Amino acid sequence: MIKVKNLIKTFRDGANSTTVLDDVSFEIPRGAWVSITGPSGSGKSTLLSLLAGLDVPSRGEIWVDDVALSQRSEEERSALRSTKFGFVFQSFRLLPTLTALENVELPIEIALSAGEGKRRAFAPGRARELLERVGLGHRLHHLPTELSGGEQQRVAIARAFAAAPPVILADEPTGNLDSKNGETVLALIRDLQKERGSTFVVVTHDPGVAKLGDREIHLRDGKLVP
């Protein structure tokens, strides 16, 4: 479960300060699909960064499965990310020097290197299986540059689910795709999320994507709009 309480994030630039998130509180139950919506500059991406432990709030707290993120060091948050979160980005963000298979294997390797392998048995061939699941069994050894945008995003989805994280964070996952590919990608995410019982938090502008969720969190000027 994710619990956010009285979250404030302020950025300082010399004497000026800007409050991007202002006293935001909410809870997301395990296995839910939550859409975060709002106009540009409303604080959506900042909220996603804070949820992922990439940044710490100026005030307030975020708990992920009862772990308070801001009380953890950066290295601890890194280790936490490798086991708790999967990511899907608008522009795919695959490592260009790795093949599709290697990109999907990467989170598993990072989780293993974080010692997670001792607690969680990763089935061999899991990455391959995931890629086959997203319809890319025939593209395993292709570099990202050799794949279309839709295919790259499908690799990114497989990567997000690879280490079986309880939470998937997505930032405009269909933003760079045409409608057909967008629908395919959303369907894949939906199916995988249901199958694995993951919590899915998606930042989106698209009302079509937003309405797919169990709940919508709408932000405006850094505040939660009821």
Partner 1 sequence: MRAALYYFRRDRSLGWRSLFFNAAGVALGVAALITLELFSNRIANTIGRDTKSFLAADYQVQSWRVFTPEVWAAIRKLAPEKDFLRQTDWVSAVQLPSGDAVTVSARALEGDYPFYGKFRTEPALAMEDLRAEPGILLDRSFQARDLKLGDRVRLGEVDFVVKGFILEEPQTVASAFAIGPRIIVHQEWAERTGMIGPTSRAFRMILIRSEISSKEFASRFRERLPDLHWRLITPDRANRQAQRIVDRVSGFLSLVALTAVFLGAAGVFMVFRGRYLLTLPQLLTLRCLGLRSRDLLAVSGLQALTLSILGWGLGSGVGVLLEDWVSRTAQAQLGVALSTPTFGGPLAFALFVTLVVVAVSVVLPLRQVLRTPVSEAFRDSESSRVGFAPSDALALGAAAVLVAALVGRNFALTGIFLGGLVGVVAVLAFGASFFVAALSRIRVASSLALKHALLSLRRQRASTLTLVVVLGLAGFLPSTIFLLSRTFQSQLDLSDREGMPNLFLLGIPPEDRESLTGFVPTMEFSPVTQVRLKSVKGVPIEELAARRALENDRPPEENAENEELGSLRFTREYFSTRRLALSAGERLVAGRALFGAPVEGKVRVSLESGFAENLEVAPGDEVVVEIAGVELPAVVQSTRKVDWYNFRPNFFMVFHEEDLREAPFELVGIGAVPPAKVAELQRDILRKHPTLSVLDGQSLATRLKSLLGQLSTAVFAVGSFAVGSALLVFVGVLLARRSQRLREVALWRCLGLRRSQLGSLLGIELSLTALVAGGLALGFSALMAYVLARFGLDIPPSASGISLAAAVLVVGMPVGLTALGLWLLRSLLNVPTAELFQKEQ
Binding site for partner 1 (CB under 8 A): 45, 49, 52, 54-56, 74-75, 77-83, 85, 87, 93, 95-98, 102, 106-107, 109-114, 143-146, 148-149
Instruction: Considering the complex, state which of residue 65 and residue 146 has its C-beta at the smaller distance from partner 1.
Output: 146
Instruction: Considering the complex, state which of residue 91 and residue 207 has its C-beta at the smaller distance from partner 1.
Output: 91
CA distance 33 to 215: 7
Instruction: Considering the complex, state which of residue 6 and residue 97 has its C-beta at the smaller distance from partner 1.
Output: 97
Report, in Å, the least distance between residue 55 CB and partner 1. 3
Pair 101, 141: CB distance under 8 Å: yes
Please name the residues in contact with 133: beta carbons below 8 A apart, sequence gap of 6 or more.
158, 188, 192
Query: From the CB of residue 19, how many other CB atoms can be counted at a distance below 10 Å?
Result: 15
Report, in Å, the least distance between residue 100 CB and partner 1. 13
Report, in Å, the least distance between residue 3 CB and partner 1. 21
Report, in Å, the least distance between residue 93 CB and partner 1. 5
CA distance 69 to 2: 11
CA distance 198 to 135: 20
Instruction: Considering the complex, state which of residue 106 and residue 219 has its C-beta at the smaller distance from partner 1.
Output: 106
What are 60's two structure tokens? 């307030």
Pair 77, 52: CB distance under 8 Å: no
CA distance 66 to 181: 36
| Partners of 162 in beta bridges | none
Instruction: Considering the complex, state which of residue 110 and residue 212 has its C-beta at the smaller distance from partner 1.
Output: 110
Instruction: Considering the complex, state which of residue 64 and residue 106 has its C-beta at the smaller distance from partner 1.
Output: 106
CA distance 186 to 138: 21
Interstrand relation of 199-203 and 33-37 (parallel, antiparallel or unpaired): parallel
What are 118's two structure tokens? 């001792």
Report, in Å, the least distance between residue 52 CB and partner 1. 7
Report, in Å, the least distance between residue 211 CB and partner 1. 26
